Amino acid sequence: MDKITSQENFKKASSVIPNFFTVGNLACGFFAIVASMEGRWIAAPSAIFVGHFLDILDGRIARWMKSPSEFGMQFDSFADWISFGIAPSVMVYLIVLHVFKELGFLLALFYVLCGALRLTRFNLKTSADSGPSLNFVGLPIPVAGGFLAILVLLFGLFDNGNQGRTMPLLYKQIPFLKAGIPVIMFSLSLLMISKFQYATFKKVHIFRPKSLPPLMMMLFVVFMIYTFPENTIFILYTSYIVWGFLRTVWRASRLQRRSLTSGKFLYSGKSNENENK
């Protein structure tokens, strides 16, 4: 009897623990909104990065404890919409897009709308699928929000004349990134609701004995973030966005070549049959 009771208590606790990380993610998003309204352009985007880390942890902990739930999934999506949809949109609007007036408002609103649609599609697909998928359909909203956050951080440093630990090569590009933020915002919005596939990395287990290369890679990334935070975070988000786009295009072109090749073989086979007749 005591064994059954302890198992039930563990099951209840395991279903609650991931939600604490989700609450932390939501708190980071709310803090980012308030900090951006106060013009704190280092604290606001930094909160988004922390929220992204907590968002990664809550899903992995839920899978590790074998306690994913419908409530947890819906709560996580709502927190993601706040932290990576609304908060980054508010930040970008306040620091750049407000100068475009109505167009800037519409771009910020369009990003928030696409983020909501992206999360809704994800929840419906997750509920319909029997097992975990190896790919996201559309750019994940935490990546889109994180990329906007690193841009806001760079804009804030540049406006204050503070290069920080940003490499000169990236620092010199900040005015061009700032001028192109409407296009960047619109492109991220479309990528979220697109059919481009992005890796989930759910099969990567860095703490297993045979996972030394991923573990070493993670330690190297942590070291680079500590040494060159702005550059490394910018490169990580940019690489993931571009990589998913190029991988999908490459797969589509490869499938097209295969279909054309099979079509040629089929056509030649029919021609040979006609000649034999």
Q: At 136, is the secondary structure helix, strand, or coil?
A: strand
How many angstroms separate the CA atoms of 53 and 55, rounded? 5
Report the sign of the C-alpha dihedral through residues 92, 96, 97, 98, in that order: positive
In the predicted model, is pLDDT for residue 125 greater than 70?
yes
Model pTM score? 0.85
More confident residue, 247 or 126: 247
d(CA 131, CA 122): 13
Name which residue leads in pLDDT, 213 or 4: 213
204 band by pLDDT with thresholds 50, 70 and 90: low
* Average pLDDT over every residue of 138-159: 95
What per-residue confidence (pLDDT) applies to 276?
Answer: 53
- pLDDT category at 59 given cuts 50, 70, 90 is confident
Report whether pLDDT(277) > 80: no
Report whether pLDDT(270) > 70.
Answer: no
Taking the C-alpha atoms of residue 189 and residue 147, their distance in angstroms, rounded to an integer, is: 12
pLDDT for the residue 4: 54
Nearest to 32 by CA among 160, 148, 114, 116: 148
Q: What is the pLDDT of residues 220-257, one digit of tens each?
A: 888 999 889 999 999 999 999 999 889 888 887 877 77
Q: What is the DSSP letter of 208?
A: S
Question: Per-residue pLDDT tens for 168-181?
Answer: 889 999 999 999 99
Instruction: Tell me what the mean pLDDT of segment 53-76 comes to.
Output: 80
Residue 131, classed as helix, strand or coil, is coil
* In the predicted structure, residue 261 carries a pLDDT above the cut 90: no
Output the pLDDT for position 62. Answer: 73
Report the alpha-carbon distance of residue 155 to residue 132 in Å, rounded: 38
Q: Of 59-63, 90-94, 118-122, 181-185, which gets the smallest average pLDDT?
A: 59-63
The two three-digit tokens of residue 271, written as one number: 């021609």
**pLDDT top residue among 155 and 4:** 155
Q: Please state, in angstroms and as integers, the Cα–Cα distance from residue 75 to each residue in 21, 37, 69, 72, 174, following that order.
A: 11, 25, 10, 5, 35
Q: Are 54 and 19 in contact (CB under 8 A)?
A: no
By three-state DSSP, how is residue 199 classified? strand
- Nearest of 68, 46, 54 to residue 129 by alpha carbon: 68
Average pLDDT, the chain: 85
pLDDT of amino acid 7:
56
Give the H or E element holding residue 135: strand 135-137
Residue with tokens 């997750």: 126
- Torsion sign across C-alpha atoms 55, 158, 236, 222: negative
**Domains in the chain: boundaries:** 2-276
